[in-house]
Amino acid sequence: MDNPTIKEIARRAGVSKSTVSRIISGNGYSSPEARDKVLGLVEEMQYKPNAVARAMVSQRTHNIGVLLYRRELPIASHPFYGKIVDAVLLEAARLNYSIFVTTDPDMSYRSADFMIEKRVDGLILISRLQQNVIDHITSFGIPFVMVNGSTDVDGVIHIVNQDEEGGRMVAEFLTQTGHERIFVVAGPQSHRSHHLRLKGFTTSIRQAGIQEADAAIQSAATSTFAEGYEIMSREWEQFREGGYTALFATNDMLAMGAMKFLLEQSVRIPEQVSVVGFDDVDFAEMFSPSLTTVKVDTGDMGTQSVRLLDQLIRQEQNVAHPNQLVPRLIVRQSTRSL
């Protein structure tokens, strides 16, 4: 029942453990006879090298920890962060790493410490993380990269989208299609992405000579569908009386939550109101009407995070900080020209 060891193979093959090790790992010389014998036994006995023992001597586990800092569910199934995780999984497999996925509802050191005890080769930190957690991780000298974090940190590789540019794209698109009265639902401004999306949007809108926009910015406490719905229902009076022709939310979930409320009030989208989101989560295309949005390349985020982390782990010199990812406006059914 127990897995056979190199020792057992050596015994049966009539050679030393060293020889078996060399043959299996492919490092060093071996005679064809020994090779045939050993490889035959490996096959026959279904020998699987013990990665734990290997890690012990090589001081490399080939494991990477993904830390998803989220206070609540969903975690891995999050419509945005889950996409990053998926890409991480795929790229990690390509580079022969295994992935520990962990979360830390308490936003404490706990899960980071746990990963350190497991001696992961590196860490991928996703979403909101406090400065103190980063300091803590840094103090252990373990390689890590951040993905879409709340804030930039000096010297830390941080993979993010050009969110300000994305916000600008939304503003230009809406103004160029004739919208002037725009209602904005702005996600938590403590998070870099929501902050920059709003900033890019408002800056651009002002440049287009639209002033009223300011008054129509609603702050969302979270970035969820429920929150979008809630805000819209709370501000329904103001919205209706404001003569708004468009709505922009700093992410898709907020946008769709708001949209659902509007649809329930029999507001016709896009005939009466155009709606734009941000992220391009899967559901954006599925919603009815499908949502015009700015696509964030979450696949690239995940892929890059693994590649960069791998470079850090392998101690490559001068690992270049990544360029911010280029967003792309995707026009769907939820918007129209006036």
Partner DNA sequence: CTGAAAGCGCTTACAG
What is the C-alpha to C-alpha distance for residues 99 and 261, in angstroms, rounded to an integer? 39
Q: Taking CB within 5 to 8 Å according to partner kind, which of its own copies, DNA, none is near residue 98?
A: its own copies
Q: Which of residues 247-286 bind its own copies (CB under 8 A)?
A: 256-257, 259-260, 263-264, 282-283, 286
Nearest CB to DNA, comparing residues 6 and 253: 6
Q: Is 145 helix (H, G, I), strand (E, B) or coil?
A: strand
* Helix axes 32-44 and 6-13, enclosed angle (nearest 10): 120
Is residue 99 within the footprint of its own copies (CB under 8 A)?
yes
Which one of the spans 24-32, 85-93, 232-240, 271-279 is the region binding its own copies (CB under 8 A)?
Answer: 85-93
> Of 25 and 323, which has the nearer Cβ to DNA?
25
Contact 88, 99 (CB under 8 A): yes
Instruction: List binders of DNA among 2-41 (CB under 7 A).
Output: 2-3, 5-7, 14-19, 21-22, 24-25, 27-31, 33-34
β-strands 293-295, 328-330: how paired? antiparallel
195 exposure class (CB count in 10 Å sphere: 0-12, 13-18, 19+): buried
Which of DNA, its own copies, none is residue 24 near (CB under 5 to 8 Å by kind)? DNA
Give yes or no for residue 114 binding DNA (CB under 7 A): no
Among 7, 31, 53, 268, binds its own copies (CB under 8 A): 53
* Paired strand residues for 125: 67, 146
Q: Residue 260 touches which of DNA, its own copies, none (CB < 5 to 8 A by kind)?
A: its own copies
Contact of 21 with 36, CB cutoff 8 Å: no
Binds its own copies by CB under 8 A, chosen from 26, 32, 141, 209 = 141
Residue 328 CB contacts under 8 Å (≥ 6 apart), including other chains:
294, 295, 297
**Interactions with its own copies, residue window 218-237 (CB under 8 A):** 225
Residue listed under structure tokens 């967003």: 327
Considering only residues 36 through 65, tell me which ones interact with DNA, judged by CB under 7 A. 47, 49-50, 53-54, 56-59
